[in-house]
Amino acid sequence: MVRRWLTPWLVLVSVGCGRPDKDVTFPEVSLVLAGGDTTIKNRTSSAFTAPATNLNEEEFNLHGEGDILFEGEFVMAPAPVRPGLGPTFNNTSCRGCHVRNGRGMPVLGENGTLRSPILVRVSLDPTALDRFPEARSLQGPGHGPYPVPGFGTQIQNHAVFGHEPEIGLSLSWEEATGTYPDGSPYTLRKPILGYSGSAEKLAVMQDSGVLRSIRQTPPVVGLGLLEAIPDQTLIDNEDPDDADGDGISGRLNRVWDPVAKTIAIGRFGWKASAPSLIVQTGNAFADDMGVKNPLAPDADGSIEISEDIVRKTAFYTQTLAVPDRIRTNPSALEGEKVFHQIACTGCHTPSLSTDGSSSIAALQNQTFAAFTDLMLHDMGEGLADGRPDYLASGQEWRTPPLWGLGLTGTILPQSGYLHDGRARTLEEAILWHGGEAEASRKAFEKLPKNERGQVIDFLKSL
């Protein structure tokens, strides 16, 4: 059944400003190699799995060791290799979700078959603390989200033999239709979560104070470059009060860094809640696979793998090559101009640079085309998850990098776009843009059909 849950769209598309007239710095930007010197020429289904092309021998070898860990299936302890899975978990390997190092797909696996390439984050609204008083003592340092008693901050919907998953999850979809100003119709969909488990657990999930957020697995290429952008570059680009009046008020997330033991700029995850790849990796081992480690130990301090293993796995994600874009499609090159003209670049920053400070030589002094500002933006009610994470509100998301976007279907045809994989096509992903991206989306909708196609061709060329 088709339901219109956002009828105002039909009104919104017919009002508003035209195409913003901006000075366009084109075509210089398109000459930047997608991943600087790390770039590889590969448009096949293995395009995301190559080591950066400029690694030295030592880096190359370390990358190879990390590759094995990223791919390996973990099993219940005690075990001679890769121990520590569970008792509850979402998947048994990094690769199980980051398929061929790309994104997952918007389905939830059942025990014994396909596992979960997406996961659900949960937390307690502070106003519900009187109903869940034990949550106060569960909050970690740095004022992160309040864990939900019995669930923590992430639902593990799988368990090893002899244990129970936290709760069973299912996904269904709600569809809605809309029309472009030129009369062309479109259909959008969004996910609805379902639960199965004991009455006690279902009651917790039905509590309005329990906030939840569905997250699709993002690709992992180029992340070392994003990590090596100097803090100051990002801070200089912040515009929290929209001082330049372009309707876009990007700001950085600031989160607890368990390594530095201080608040740091958040860069990774759909809400930029992880400050570094080592922290993201430590948390992935512990939360997604149940493998406790020195970066994310068990409550009693116990660990199941060494810090060396976490570091090697993180190194792998720091040193993957970025595939270069297609540079010969005239429609895509026209589309790149339009992408600038309708101010998609207000958030999807065409190029950024690292300085010489990275401990990884291959990442030093690189200029690359990630098409992200790593900033949080209010994307409107349509995309809201209602679950704040450090400074990120329930409507804010980090601009995702767009490099490699055109390879999505080649790497895993069932993948979706946006934080929960709701968008089946790039066009749907754009049509969901609201909030600070409202003007940009409206400008896209008003384009003649052939120019909309050029923008899509540009995205597919990345």
Q: What are phi and psi of 206, to 5 degrees?
A: -85, -10
Query: If you ran DSSP here, which 8-state letter would residue 373 be given?
Result: -
Distance CA 132, CA 130 (A): 6
- CB hemisphere CA count around 165 (13 angstroms): 22
Minimum CB distance to Ca ion, residue 247 (Å): 7
Which one of ligand HEC, Ca ion, none is in contact with 371 (Cβ closer than 5 to 8 A by kind)? none
Residue 280 touching ligand HEC (CB under 6 A): yes
| Rounded distance between C-alpha atoms, residue 242 and residue 440, angstroms | 16
Q: Does 242 bind Ca ion (CB under 5 A)?
A: yes
Q: Of the ranges 36-44, 130-138, 195-203, 423-431, which one interacts with ligand HEC (CB under 6 A)?
A: 423-431
Measured CA distances, 254 to 187, 228, 263, 337, 364 (Å): 36, 17, 6, 33, 24
457 touches ligand HEC by CB under 6 A: no
258 binds Ca ion (CB under 5 A): no
Q: Can residue 440 be called a binding residue for ligand HEC (CB under 6 A)?
A: yes
By CB under 5 A, name the one of 246, 334, 427, 428 that touches Ca ion.
Answer: 246
Q: Phi/psi of residue 336, each to 5°?
A: -65, -40
Contacts of 367 (CB under 8 A, 6+ apart): 32, 36, 351, 352, 353
H-run or E-run covering 173: strand 168-179
13, 418, 431, 462: residue in contact with ligand HEC (rule CB under 6 A): 418
Identity of the residue, 77 or 129, whose beta carbon is nearer to ligand HEC in the bound complex: 77
Interface mask toward Ca ion for 84-123; x: CB under 5 A: x---------------------------------------
- Residue 413, judged by CB atoms within 10 A of its CB (0-12, 13-18, 19+), counts as exposed
Handedness of CA 16, 21, 27, 30 (dihedral sign): negative
Count of positions on this chain that bind Ca ion (CB under 5 A):
11
102 binds ligand HEC (CB under 6 A): no
Smallest separation (angstroms) from Ca ion to the CB of 313 = 16
Which residue stretch of 222-230, 286-294, 357-365, 369-377 sits at the interface with Ca ion (rule: CB under 5 A)? 286-294
Alpha carbon distance 344, 298 (integer Å): 43
Complex with ligand HEC: residue 36 or 400, whichever CB lies closer: 400
Say how far residue 118 (Cα) sits from the centre of its chain.
Answer: 11
Q: Which amino acid is located at 223 in the chain?
A: L
Q: Which is nearer to ligand HEC, 37 or 71 (CB)?
A: 71
Binding site for ligand HEC (CB under 6 A): 70, 90-91, 94, 96-98, 116-119, 215, 217-218, 220, 223, 248, 268-270, 273, 277, 280-281, 284-285, 288-289, 313, 317, 339, 342-344, 346-348, 377, 379, 383, 397, 399-400, 417-419, 426, 429-430, 433, 436-437, 440-441, 444, 455, 459
Binding site for Ca ion (CB under 5 A): 84, 151-152, 154, 156, 239, 242, 244, 246, 248, 290
